Structure 1
Amino acid sequence: MSDSNRGVALGATAFLMWGFAALYWPFLSASEPAEVLAHRMVWALLAMCVFLLLARRGWSWLPQVLRNPRQLLPVGAAAVLISLNWWGFIYSVSTAQTLQASLAYFINPLMTVCLGVVLFSERLRAAQWVAVGLGVVAVGVMTVAYGSTPWLSLLMATSFAAYGAVKKYVSLDGMQSLTVETLVMFLPALGFVVYLEATGAGTALSVSPGHTALLVGGGFVTALPLLLFGVAARKVPLSVIGMLQFIAPTMIFLIGWLVQGEEMPLSRWIGFVFVWLAVCVFVFDQVRGSRARAAARREAVRP
């Protein structure tokens, strides 16, 4: 298998795992979302330690990062943002609001390009402006459909888009960065878990061995797709990653609608139609831009 095909397979696997995660977290409904999030942070660090040992990467790089504020501060900010995103996802799929999670990850690419304009003075092409406009209409329609602004969707979409923007300032590779992110959140998360258990409010040791195993497994459910995604992003063009990323919200939508039985009145269907139109315009622009760049490269190497 070529590197490109392997990258596509790894990327697709990562997004499939993120999609199936909508079925994983509801099994932990005996715990409050905040407790699940804390365990997710604690055990994600264990997962990263295991992956580092398997990859034989060593730890010699870590002390230098911890002593360097310029490296540590953006990683710390990334850790806070991804924690907000994780909490929003856990809360939505655990409280029968899975369709809000689907909406979040459909509009996330549009949030990302908007942040590019605001933070990095990037210029959008006409098709990208159309996609953003359709996304805004979709959020407006969803506000009417839900009877209030879909804050969970906006929280997840903006936090993940901001996470991607902050990562531009991180000089570490994907495995190192994720390890430090989980390390930054480890002590606060562990402290919260200990507090819950000490006060009798925790569920890690009081529900069942299966529940405990699922809490521990949440760390690996968190870390593995992120690592697969990091490898895939280095092997295939971003335009391909841009198309693969819609696997997860499509799966989450189908899980929310068909498996968990969330209602889909006409107003929500209209909102999602606008979302899917925005996605189609976005993907079309990505493909067209990729082809134009490839043609320009071929033209440049001609004798």
Structure 2
Amino acid sequence: MKQGVLYGIVAYLAWGLLPVYWKLFQMMGAWEILAHRIVWSLLFVLMILACTRRLGHMLAAAPGIKLKGALLLCSLLISANWLLYIWAVNHDQVMETSLGYYMNPLISVLLGVVFLKEKMRLGQWVALLMAGAGVIYITVQYGRVPWIALSLALSFAFYGLAKKLVNLEAMIGLAWETVFVAPIALAYLLFLQTTGTETAFALEWWKIVLLMLAGVGTAMPLYWFAQATRRLPLSTLGFIQYLSPTIQLLSAVFLFGEPFTLTHLVSFSLIWGALIVFTVSSMRKKSAPVAVKSEVAIKKQA
């Protein structure tokens, strides 16, 4: 449990601090940053798999066309999510990215109901309605739909749904996901180089080094998260996952100076309330079978 909690905290802490990391490359375009992230992620993951002698496992993990199609879908969804997130951070929309990742678990459950025919308790439906009210309130007050938050939440939720179909170990899954888009990313970087429009090598040397470490920053949190899921019940991990958007929200307000208005307070409060209701309802759902088993055991002993 202690190791699992530590892995979970480190993973979500790393994801929460990503806006600070991407802000270092604000002079670069989002597409160029994304291309570097994909290429360096693939190189780092392939190096890890080679050192652990698991390259053969990677090739054997996706034998069929159907599975490769699911991996391609994962690749496109996570690439779109990364692109939008980087763009939003470097256009001073960190608060809205935080809103998106607060909404993500609720949308994931809704997709489970729609596509996997999962059933929800009354409390979980109430939570979805509260979150919807929060989105509607901020939309009415500002006169625009929070499209960044919704797009991030939806793309990551659909990515999670596709990952259920794939069900691969974290590093192998990331390797396949980056393999599909790496040729496009590399071609784009070569195009920028030949046209003289690349900006990465105009950065200070230490920023170039940090950009090259984007692969480490992408793969290691996934590894830590995978280790946490092996050691922790999902209810515990559910609490820890809110660490990431909370850090993003605090960074937006206190580091990047984004305004936190009364409208934000009302909207976020509705969504925070929804998450509390959702988490409590989910925990009661998971604890019910345990209670039934305990009662049966007591009756047997009697």
The question of a shared fold, defined as TM-score above 0.5 by the shorter chain, is answered with yes
Q: Confirm or deny that 1:83 pairs with 2:67.
A: no
| 2:159 is the alignment partner of 1:142 | no
Q: Deviations over 1:197-236 (max 9, x none)?
A: 1111111223332232122111211111111111211221
Letter of the structure 2 residue corresponding to residue 15 of structure 1: Y
Give identity over the alignment, percent. Answer: 35
Alignment-derived partner of residue 126 in structure 1: 122
CA distance in 2, matches of 1:196, 1:171: 36
- The Cα offsets for residues 19-64 of structure 1, whole Å up to 9 and x where unpaired, read as 011111010011001111111111111221233245x142112333
Over 3 Å counting, the alpha-carbon distance change for 1:300 and 1:83 in structure 2 is farther
Flag structure 2 segments of 5+ consecutive residues without an equivalent.
none
- Which position in structure 1 is the counterpart of 2:99? 103
**Cα distance in structure 1, aligned partners of 2:231 and 2:63:** 32
More displaced 10-residue stretch of structure 1: 285-294 or 167-176 = 285-294
* Cross-structure match for 2:22: 25
| Distance in 2 of aligned mates of 1:85 and 1:178 | 14
What is the CA–CA distance in structure 2 between the aligned matches of 1:301 and 1:45, rounded to whole Å? 51
What is the distance in 1 between the residues matched to 2:252 and 2:196?
33
The Cα RMSD (Å) is 1.6
CA distance in 2, matches of 1:239, 1:292: 13
Stretch of structure 1 that moved more, 217-226 or 65-74: 65-74
Q: Which residue of 2 aligns with 1:198?
A: 194
Does 2:282 align with 1:286?
A: yes
Structure 2 CA distance, aligned partners of 1:23 and 1:283?
29
Counterpart Cα distance in 2 of 1:66 and 1:5 = 34
2:124–2:282: 8 Å Cα contact kept in structure 1? Answer: no
Structure 1: gaps (5+ residues): none
Q: How far is 1:301 from its partner?
A: 4.8
8 Å CA contact 1:99, 1:252 repeated in 2: yes
Aligned residues: 299
- Normalised to the residue count of structure 1, the TM-score between the two structures is 0.94
Find the aligned partners of 2:206 and 2:283 in 1 and give their Cα distance. Answer: 45
| Contact map agreement 1:42 1:182 (CA 8 A) in 2 | yes
Q: Does 1:274 find its partner at 2:270?
A: yes
Would the alpha carbon gap of residues 25 and 261 (structure 1) be closer, same or farther in structure 2, given more than 3 Å must change? same
Q: Could you state the TM-score of these two structures normalised by the residue count of structure 2?
A: 0.94
1:216 aligns with 2:212: yes
Aligned mates of 2:183, 2:297 — CA distance in 1: 53
Question: Which of 155, 168, 174 is 1:159 aligned to?
Answer: 155
SS in 2 for 1:260: coil
Partner of residue 257 from structure 2, selected from 261, 276, 279: 261
What residue is the counterpart of 1:40 in the other structure? 37
Quick one: which amino acid aligns to residue 123 of structure 1? K
The residue number in structure 2 matching 1:173 is 169
Residue 178 of structure 1 and its aligned partner are, at CA, apart by 1.3
